[in-house]
Structure 1
Amino acid sequence: MPTERRPSPTLLAASLVGVLGGALVAVPEAALAQQGRPSTLAMTCGQARNFLAARGAAVLGTGGYTYDRYVRDRSFCEPTEITKNAVVPTRDTPECLVGYRCIEPGRNWFDDE
C-alpha cells in the first residue's frame, strides 16, 4: 500500500505567504482601478474648487479622454514652473476657475498656453 506524501510545513508556509502577499497587493490596485479619475463634469464648480483645495494637486478629467494636473497654488509646481489660471467645465458651468496649472515659462512654441 503506497504511503501518502504530505508537503513539508516550510513549503506550506511559503505557499501561504505567496498567496496572501499577492492578495494584499491586488486589493489596493483593484480599489484604485474602481475609483477612476475624478471628473469635473460630475462636480459643481464649488465642489471642484473644494476638491482641489483639500488635496493641493490632482489629476482631473474634464470630459471624454481629456485630463490635466491642476494645483491649488505654486507650491505644488516644480521650482522652475509658474502657475496659469485653469478653467474647466463643471456640471453647473462651462467655465469654472478651479485653480492653476503648472507651466514652464518660455515654452510656448505652439501658442497654446
Structure 2
Amino acid sequence: MTHRVPHRLSRAVVLLTVLGAALPAAAQSRPYAPSLSCARLQALLERSGAAVLSTGPRTYDRFVRDGRFCQSTEVTEAAWVRASDDPDCFIGYTCKEADRDDQW
C-alpha cells in the first residue's frame, strides 16, 4: 500500500527546502569594502547607522556611524578601511569595550 502526499503539501516541502538552502547564503553576504568607493561606504553607514563589512577575503568587522550603535559598556574607536578609491577611507567607528581609563 502506498501513501500519496497531497500535491499542495509536496510543493510546500519543496519550497521550504529551497528557501532553507538559500537563507544561509544570504545571511553570509555582506558588502566588500575594497570593491566600493569611500563615499559609498560612508553613505551606507550614514543611512543604516551600523553595518558589518568584509574588509578582506577572510576578514570583516562591524562599523558604526556613532556611539548610539554601540552597547552601553562600549566606546567608539575611529576606523579606516581600504576602499576602491582610497586606501585609508575613514568609515566611521568600531565599538570596543571601555577600559577603566575610558570613563565617561
Q: Secondary structure at the match of 1:62?
A: strand
- Specify which of 54, 57, 67 is matched with residue 61 of structure 1: 54
Tell me the CA shift for residue 102 of structure 1.
0.3
Describe the superposition over 1:74-109 as per-residue Cα deviations: whole angstroms up to 9, x where unpaired. Answer: 1111111111111111111111110110011118xx
Say whether residues 1:21 and 2:34 are aligned partners. Answer: no
* Aligned counterparts of 2:23 and 2:84: Cα–Cα separation in 1: 29
Residue 96 of structure 1 pairs with residue 89 of structure 2: yes
User: Which residue of structure 2 aligns with residue 110 of structure 1?
Assistant: none
Q: Does 1:105 align with 2:98?
A: yes
| TM-score, scaled relative to structure 1 | 0.72
**Residue 36 of structure 1, aligned match among 26, 29, 34:** 29
Return the structure number with greater strand share: 2
Counterparts of 2:72 and 2:17, CA distance in 1: 39
- In 1, distance between residues paired with 2:72 and 2:16? 39
Offset at residue 27 of structure 1 (A): 4.1
CA RMSD of aligned residues (A): 2.4
2:62 equivalent to 1:81? no
Residue-pair matches, total = 99
Bigger-Rg structure (1/2):
1
| Counterparts in 2 of 1:16 and 1:79: CA distance versus 1, 3 Å | same
Equivalent AA in structure 1 for residue 46 of structure 2:
A
> In structure 2, the residue corresponding to 1:51 is in which secondary structure?
helix
Q: Which runs of 5+ in 2 are unaligned?
A: none
Query: Alignment partner for residue 71 of structure 1, among 39, 42, 64?
Result: 64
